[in-house]
Amino acid sequence: MPWSFPARLQQSLPGPSEHGPHFRPRWRFGAVTAMLLLVLGLAVSACGNEAETPNDTPGSLVVYSGRSESLVDPIIQQFKVASGIDVKVRYGGTAEMAATILEEGENSPADVFFAQDPAGLGAVAGRFAPLPESILGTVPAKYRSPEGVWVGLSGRARVTVYNTDKLSPEQLPDDIWGFTDPQWKGRIGWAPTNGSFQAMVTAMQVQWGEEKTRDWLIGIKANEPKAYSNNTSIVAAVGSGEVEVGFPNHYYLYRFLQEEGESFAARNYHFRESGPGGVMLVAGAGILETAPNRENADRFLQFMLSLVAQQYFASQTYEYPVIERVIINRLLTPLEEINAPDIDMADLDDLEGTLALLRETGILP
């Protein structure tokens, strides 16, 4: 019983009286300083456990990935084995990783930034170094930056996902404009804060012009869509019947089919008419101008554009390849049938206009 110690002492005291003021400073300095020293000691001992990993050792590579570990780790491991390079990856959201690179500035330990979308790449474009022709030449011009500082590595199509219990594809409109019809009131789910959605709205401005894009936003808003936080939540909500249609990227559906089986009550629908609602977006990467391991970074991008890696994306992550001669997963709609419009990714990397429009229409706060 820890209590008894001071209590026993109290009996020998004259009574609870005020003590002399000269005790207090000693108490303060002795005890508080000691505690601080203890904290420092713990801190230093924790530091000692940490092995230093200098970045300039030959044979290493640091990748900042805004793409999820679940999707890209297998192929990065393959690169590691094939090249013998010690690849280290930091995973996070694309926006967080971009912000980190910008905060780090000149001192960034990163070689490669692997981003989820063109906007993420555009945000750090000023920090990228030009890529060699051996990399740029592999990818169609519309899937890379015009300044040659980043390349697309895999494609993801914008689609409509619909609930199969309530709708059949014939009931869906030919293009995304059709959803402004009042009959869709209360039946739509979307994710206005999501980067891919915003890229689609940018694509609308490229193809339709600002006026029609604003009308589309106003039209959909009038149909009282439910706003979800991301693509996953949209597909989940369509599958459970919370809403009947939603606008995500195409590959989320296949994750749900894997998790829940064929009975999952949602499928993808590619618009019959080519338009911004079916735009093909890319995830891509660039090399930082401060990259400590420039050569390895080049090799990394070359590998990601090789047949092996592209085949991995096409069959394992249900994405579309950016090079030819790749066989896509049998569940995917063939590239020729998805009616993707011809839009340069480079036109989609500036978000300001889209964000202004989304704020103006009251869709974003």
Partner 1 sequence: MTALSLVVPSYIGGFVIVAALGPRGMFQSLLSKLFNIEHLPEIYGLPGAALTLTLLSYPYILLTVRSALWGMDPALEEASRSLGYSRWATFWKVTIPQLRPAISVGALLVGLYTLSDFGAVSLLRFDSFTRVIYLAYQSSFDRGIAAALSLLLVLVALMLLMLEAWTRGRSRYYRSDSGSPRALRPIALGVWRWPALAFCGVVVILALALPMAVLGYWMVRGMQAGQSLDLAWTPMMNSIYVSGLAAVITVAASVPVAVLAVRYPSRLSGFVERSAYIGFALPGIVVSLGLVFFGVRYAPLLYQTLMMLVIAYVILLLPQAIGAVKSSFLQVSPRMEEAALSLGRRPMQIMVRVTLPLIRTGMLAGAGLMFLTAMKELPATLLLSPIGFKTLATTIWSATEEAFFTRAATSAILLVLVSSVPMAFLTLRESGRKG
Say whether residue 113 binds partner 1 (CB under 8 A). no
- Site membership for partner 1, residue 11 (CB under 8 A): yes
Decide: is 49 part of the binding site for partner 1 (CB under 8 A).
yes
Per CB under 8 A, the list member of 126, 182, 334, 365 interacting with partner 1 is 365
Q: In terms of DSSP bridges, do strands 60-65 and 226-227 run parallel, antiparallel, or are they unpaired?
A: unpaired
Q: Which residue lies nearer to partner 1 by CB, 259 or 336?
A: 259
From 154-162, 237-245, 273-281, 326-334, give the range in contact with partner 1 by CB under 8 A.
Answer: 237-245
Q: Does 141 bind partner 1 (CB under 8 A)?
A: no
- By CB under 8 A, is residue 39 in contact with partner 1? yes
Task: Kindly tell me which of 19 and 325 has the beta carbon lying closer to partner 1.
Answer: 19
If the CB atoms of residues 230 and 361 are measured against partner 1, the closer one turns out to be: 230
Beta bridge partners of 156: 281
Q: Binding of partner 1 at residue 224 (CB under 8 A)?
A: no
- Which one of residues 138, 154, 160, 198 is an interface residue with partner 1 (CB under 8 A)? 198
What tokens were used for 122?
């555009």
Among 74, 186, 241, 362, binds partner 1 (CB under 8 A): 241
Q: Does 115 bind partner 1 (CB under 8 A)?
A: no
Q: Give me the torsion for CA of 270, 276, 280, 284, rounded to 10°.
A: -150
Is 125 among the residues that bind partner 1 (CB under 8 A)? no
What is the per-residue binding string for partner 1 in 81-100, x denoting contact by CB under 8 A?
-------xxxxxx-xx-xxx
To partner 1, the closest distance from the beta carbon of 336 in angstroms equals 27
**Tell me, what amino acid is at 6?**
P
Counting Cα atoms < 13 Å in the Cβ hemisphere of 168 gives 1
Compute the distance between CA of residue 147 and CA of residue 130 in angstroms, rounded to an integer. 7
Q: What's the rounded Cα separation, in Å, for the pair 260 and 241?
A: 15
Which tokens is 155 given? 């494609």
Alpha-helical segments (H) within the chain: 4-11, 23-27, 33-48, 69-83, 94-104, 118-123, 133-136, 195-208, 210-222, 231-240, 252-260, 294-304, 307-316, 352-360
